[in-house]
Amino acid sequence: MSDNKVIQVKNLTKKFGDFTAVDTITFDVEKGEVFGFLGANGAGKTTAIKMLIGISKPTFGEAQVAGFNVFTNAEDVKKNIGYMSQKFALYDDLTVRENITFFGGIYGLSKTRIKEKADALIEELGLKGVSNQLVKSLPLGWKQKISFSVALLHDPKIVFLDEPTGGVDPITRRQFWELIYKAASQGTTIFVTTHYMDEAEYCDRVSIMVNGKIEALNTPKNLKEQFKVANMNDVFLMLARG
């Protein structure tokens, strides 16, 4: 695998019986890239992500993630990635600090490292005043930011975000994207799905999946030029909605 390509996918396919949910997709993602993985509901995004994070076996095709084969080295893949879905896994009945400590333990960090990380995160996210509050008392946007930070606790090479900003307002989403950019600038690769087309504009490159296939993949600027439209929403409508 080349040094810069942290995800390499070739003809990756997933069938459920006769139905092909992911159909021979091929693409690479570079280190530190913010890669948008778009598609209408049911296009096959989550199914593809499940294969890339090593929890679902491909029917055929190949994928290397963080240098490991998802087919044969799924456990190594899992150690090197972070994952956050829209139904993020924070415990509502634990405080902010307790959540960070709990997940740090699951990721196998030492007690000292967990304390360092928790202090740094609480400071960075401006959560000092609420670090001892139960997570359930916090607004959704804060939970999403904490959840993202928790997905990065073990310094993964790549973080997979499956609709991370669902349900929050544009200003809160913009703040979330500042965290994404910061992680990317420090070398973490971001693989993100979203239904918000303003967020697609923030990605370095975007792929658009239609019925299990990648129908377009390029920078937002090049996609807009290619389809001769002014914004990513129009690109998406032309492809995903036929």
What residues line the site for ligand ATP (CB under 6 A)?
16, 21, 39, 41-47
Half-sphere exposure of residue 179, counting CA atoms within 13 Å on the CB side? 23
**Minimum distance, C-beta of residue 60 to ligand ATP, in the bound complex (Å):** 16
Closer by beta carbon to ligand ATP, 46 or else 69: 46
Nearer to ligand ATP among residue 42 and residue 187 (C-beta): 42
Phi-psi group of 161: left, alpha or beta (phi > 0 → left; psi -120 to 50 → alpha; rest → beta): beta
Please list the alpha-helical segments (H only) found in the chain.
45-52, 74-79, 96-106, 111-124, 140-151, 170-185, 197-201, 220-227, 232-240
CB 192 within 8 A of CB 218: no
Instruction: Please count the other Cβ atoms lying within 10 Å of the Cβ belonging to residue 193.
Output: 23
In the block, which residue shows the tokens 């009945």? 93
Q: Are strands 34-39 and 189-193 parallel, antiparallel or unpaired?
A: parallel
Write the burial class of residue 137 (CB in 10 Å: 0-12 exposed, 13-18 middle, 19+ buried).
exposed
**In angstroms, how far is CA 207 from the centroid of its own chain?**
14
Q: CB of residue 210 vs ligand ATP: minimum separation in angstroms?
A: 10
Q: Which is nearer to ligand ATP, 99 or 165 (CB)?
A: 165
Task: Tell me whether residue 108 or residue 242 sits nearer to ligand ATP (CB atom).
Answer: 242
* Nearest approach, Cβ of residue 207 and ligand ATP (Å): 12
Judged by beta carbon, residue 47 or residue 99, the one nearer ligand ATP is 47
Q: Least distance to ligand ATP from the beta carbon of 214, Å?
A: 12
Of 22 and 150, nearer to ligand ATP (C-beta) is 22
Give the angle 25-151-90 at the CA atoms, nearest 5°.
115
| Shortest reach from residue 87's CB to ligand ATP, in Å | 11
Q: How far apart are CA 104 and CA 101, in angstroms?
A: 5
**Minimum gap (Å) between residue 76 Cβ and ligand ATP:** 24
